[in-house]
Chains A and B, each alone.
Chain A
Amino acid sequence: MIEFTFWDILRNLLFATRWTVLLSVAAFVGGAVVGVAILFARISVARWARRFGAGYIALFQGTPLLMQLFLMFFGLPMLGLRIEPWTAAVCGLTFYASAYLAEIWRAGVEALPRGQSEAAASLGLHRLQELRLVILPQAFRITRAPVVGFLVQLIKSTALASILGFEELLKTANAINNATFEPFKVYGLVAVIFFLLCYPLTQYARMLEGKTAFR
Chain B
Amino acid sequence: MKYALDFTWLWGSLGALASGAAMTLLLIACTTVFGLTISILGAAARRGRYPWLRKLVGVYVEVIRNTPFLVQLFFIFFGLPSIGVRLDPMVAAILAMTLNMAAYTIEVVGAGLDAVPKGQREAATALGMRPRLAFLKVVLPQALAIIYPALTSQIIIMMLESAVVSQISVRELAQEADLLQARTFRSFETYLVVTLIYLALSAAVRRGMILFGQRMLGAGVK
Q: Which of A160, A173, A182, A186 is B164 in contact with, Cβ under 8 Å?
A: A160
State the main secondary structure of chain B at its contact with A.
Answer: helix
CA gap between A62 and B199 in the complex, in Å: 5
Is A67 within 8 A of B195, CB to CB?
yes
Tell me the interface secondary structure of chain A in the complex: helix
Which A-chain residue is minimally distant from B186 (CB atoms)?
Answer: A74
B198: Cβ under 8 A from any A Cβ: yes
Interface residue B83 (Cβ < 8 Å from any Cβ of A): yes
A167-180 vs B, Cβ < 8 Å mask (1 yes, 0 no): 00010011001000
Chain A residues closer than 8 Å to B191, beta-carbon distance? 67, 70-71, 74-75
Interface residues of A in 66-84 (CB under 8 A from B): 66-68, 70-71, 74-75, 78
State how many residues of chain B have any CB contact under 8 Å with chain A.
41
Q: Which range contains the number of A residues in contact with the other chain?
A: 35 or more
Residues from 187 to 215 in A contacting B, C-beta threshold 8 Å: 187-188, 190-191, 194-195, 198-199, 202
Q: Which of B68, B163, B196 has most chain A Cβ within 10 Å?
A: B68
**Chain B CB within 8 A of A133 CB:** no
User: Which of B8-16, B49-57, B58-66, B127-135 lines the interface with chain A?
Assistant: B58-66
What residues of chain A lie closer than 8 Å to B71, measured between beta carbons? Answer: 159, 170, 187, 190-191, 194
Binding site for A on B (CB under 8 A): 3, 62-63, 65-72, 74-75, 78-83, 156, 160-164, 166-167, 174, 177, 181, 187-188, 191-192, 194-196, 198-199, 202-203
